[in-house]
Structure 1
Amino acid sequence: MVMDLAVELIHATVQLEQPLGDGTRTVGTGFLISAPTADGRPRVVLVTANHVLEKMPAATARIGYRVANADGSWSYSPQPLKIRDDKGGPLWIHHPTRDVAAIAITAPPEFAKAAIPEGYLATDDTFAQYHVTAGDEMMALGFPRGLSANQAGFPILRAGRVASYPIAPASIFPTFLLDFAVFAGNSGGPVFVSRPQQPPGAPQGLTQVADVTQGGAVPGAGFIAGLLTQQVELNSERLEIGIVTHAKYVRETLALLRNPLAPATVAQASVNQAAPVAGARTASAEEAAKD
């Protein structure tokens, strides 16, 4: 049976928070990926934006697990998550050039089962295969201003349209824009396509996303396009635009978790012009971005 990626990602998405000692807290979003170790052992990895963890100075954060009760209700059960060692050093690994972080965790069994297989992370080929382009709708999960959808602590689901062109290849365009209202607390949440259009010639009723980690194909109803890393502000005015970092860089961060010497892409800073005009330059939304 083809899974509903929206529902599965809702179960795999968690709130991350840390009290700051002055009555406030720093809040972000993360999601769980099933990413085996280098020797094939199963492992659950928490993926989020690097700046979410960097802004948490204490050694322990809280991860917002949810527990299903026998009567069909749910309970919110946040648990401690150690993110720094005894000297204050980070226990997570981050991409060298993009705002992506990953940390291996020991999740409760029900959450370990909810982790999304690594193969659902998009590649450049995925974007090309499904002709993803400007105007296409994507969905995002998160905890804006630390708010959840209900008392059980489930994330809030939003939708927006791709607001930039082109959006691939990721090595040249490492981020793309999504037209929806973004708030503090959304950072680190997954951005995904739940039911992509079938590529030409594909069998009806089945989509497949290549799983490069297991050498096969994962039947599915969508793919994770990336994670939300920033919102766009100009002169303190929110433009209701989110910046999404390509899933390619999540894949590379997971590879670094397996092997710190794994290669990582250094994206081009700009597109070369054939005949640049002296002084000619356009301001990009990414330059106006705010965590």
Structure 2
Amino acid sequence: MRGGSWAVHGQQGAIQQREVHQMITPTMFTEQLVFTTVRIETTLKDGNTGVGTGFFFNMKVDDNRTLPLIVTSKHVAKDTTKGRFQLHEALPGASPPKPSGQFFTVELDNFESQWIPHPDPAVDLCAMPFQPLRARAEVAGKAIFNVSFHEGLILSGKQLEELSAVEDILFVGYPTGLWDEKNNLPLIRRGVTASHPALDFGGRPVFVIDAACFPGSSGSPVLLANLGSYYTKDGSLVVGTRVALLGVLYAGPEMTVEGSIVARPIPTTVLPASITRVMIHLGYVIKAKEIVTLGSHVILEAENRGWL
């Protein structure tokens, strides 16, 4: 973007190249979806490692500029010392841009400090400007391929009210760290809304989905996905596709063996525990309007630091 350079704090690790593979050219919505996320691998202060999901989001600064961001859950970056991003390399000279089938890893030190948290401590979201990673790649002679969400994919309050209580959703990420390692691609999962997306579940800016949510899914974008046809609130059938960014998966209720139900952030690590907790096939999703609040906060921080 125009208007100045971004600083990346801390020492920078080497860019690690991966071998070339045959790759799809993303044209359909679901094909594009697998390039909207980035796998985040972390090293924690206690020596353990974790995996989370980040996604690309273009925040509008003004009529001429956008600020590219990587968005994830705060707890993905919490207490981390190092972080690694698995990024796709763009095919040189391709127009429109397309993935080359080659990908590489960028490692950052002082990882937790790279993220700007949501201004509300209770909202489990944070963002990192994407430009420093692009600059790192360009120095190494590489261009990054990705697909970004934007504000135009976020429904207004009135549009959310036009949805039903049960809507088809897709979410993208790395459950229990699983991914297509050979092709650097995430997994797409399906579910339905379990509470109405227009309402603040429990008085907080979240809603609930009926889907299996596992460690590694923290930070996964959750999308309304009516592919081919859908029904309006008055029962009319519409032939066509309706897609929207509804929010970000961050937590899920669990039941202990004693029968207590507790809500806790979806962990980034899979570790043995003395208390058996069972996921109950539900997930908590932060509403997409909070992504915009976070993005506005990042822009303000950038302006205050002279980055824009």
TM-score by length of 2: 0.66
**Among candidates 164, 181, 184, match of residue 215 of structure 2:** 184
Instruction: Give the unaligned 5+ runs of structure 1.
Output: 208-220, 261-291
Aligned residue type for 1:128: E
Q: 1:200 to 1:242 in 2, by over 3 A?
A: closer
Q: 1:177 to 1:29 in 2, by over 3 A?
A: same
**Among candidates 265, 279, 286, match of residue 245 of structure 1:** 286
Q: 1:75 to 1:145 in 2, by over 3 A?
A: farther
Could you report, residue by residue, the CA deviation over 1:68-117 in whole angstroms, capped at 9, with x for unpaired residues? 669x8723422124664xxx7454232413111111112364435x2222
Using the alignment, how far apart are the partners of 2:177 and 2:67 within structure 1?
27
For residue 143 of structure 1, what is the aligned residue in structure 2? 174
Shift of 1:200: 7.7
Matches within 5 A, 1:157-236: 157-164=188-195, 166-170=196-200, 172-195=203-226, 197=230, 221-235=242-256, 236=277
**Among candidates 95, 100, 111, match of residue 145 of structure 2:** 111
Could you report, residue by residue, the CA deviation over 1:210-248 in whole angstroms, capped at 9, with x for unpaired residues? xxxxxxxxxxx4111001001221111211211111111
Q: 1:38 to 1:91 in 2, by over 3 A?
A: farther
Q: 1:223 to 1:82 in 2, by over 3 A?
A: farther
Shift of 1:53: 1.2
Aligned residue type for 2:216: G
Using the alignment, how far apart are the partners of 2:250 and 2:37 within structure 1?
15
Using the alignment, how far apart are the partners of 1:98 and 1:159 within structure 2?
24
Q: CA contact under 8 A between 2:115 and 2:126: conserved in structure 1?
A: no
Q: CA contact under 8 A between 2:89 and 2:102: conserved in structure 1?
A: yes
Aligned residue type for 1:153: N
Using the alignment, how far apart are the partners of 2:244 and 2:109 within structure 1?
29
Aligned residue type for 1:188: G
**Among candidates 58, 67, 86, match of residue 64 of structure 1:** 86
Shift of 1:138: 0.4
State yes or no: 1:10 paired with 2:34.
Answer: yes
Could you report, residue by residue, the CA deviation over 1:24-67 in whole angstroms, capped at 9, with x for unpaired residues? 411100100111335842321001111111142x1x41111123
Q: 1:100 to 1:91 in 2, by over 3 A?
A: closer
**Tell me, what secondary structure is at the counterpart of 2:38?**
strand
Matches within 5 A, 1:259-278: 259=300
**Tell me, what secondary structure is at the counterpart of 2:88?**
strand
RMSD: 3.2
Aligned residue type for 2:164: V
For residue 306 of structure 2, what is the aligned residue in structure 1? none
**Among candidates 96, 102, 109, match of residue 75 of structure 1:** 102
Using the alignment, how far apart are the partners of 1:142 and 1:154 within structure 2?
9
Matches within 5 A, 1:20-169: 20=44, 24-37=48-61, 40-56=64-80, 58=81, 60-67=82-89, 74-81=101-108, 84=111, 89-96=113-120, 97-106=122-131, 107=134, 109-111=143-145, 114-129=147-162, 131-133=163-165, 135-164=166-195, 166-169=196-199
**Tell me, what secondary structure is at the counterpart of 1:256?**
helix
Q: CA contact under 8 A between 1:33 and 1:44: conserved in structure 2?
A: yes
Using the alignment, how far apart are the partners of 1:140 and 1:250 within structure 2?
16
Instruction: Give the unaligned 5+ runs of structure 2.
Output: 1-26, 93-98, 138-142, 257-276, 302-308
Aligned residue type for 1:117: H
Q: Judge which range, 37-46 or 176-185, deviates more.
A: 37-46
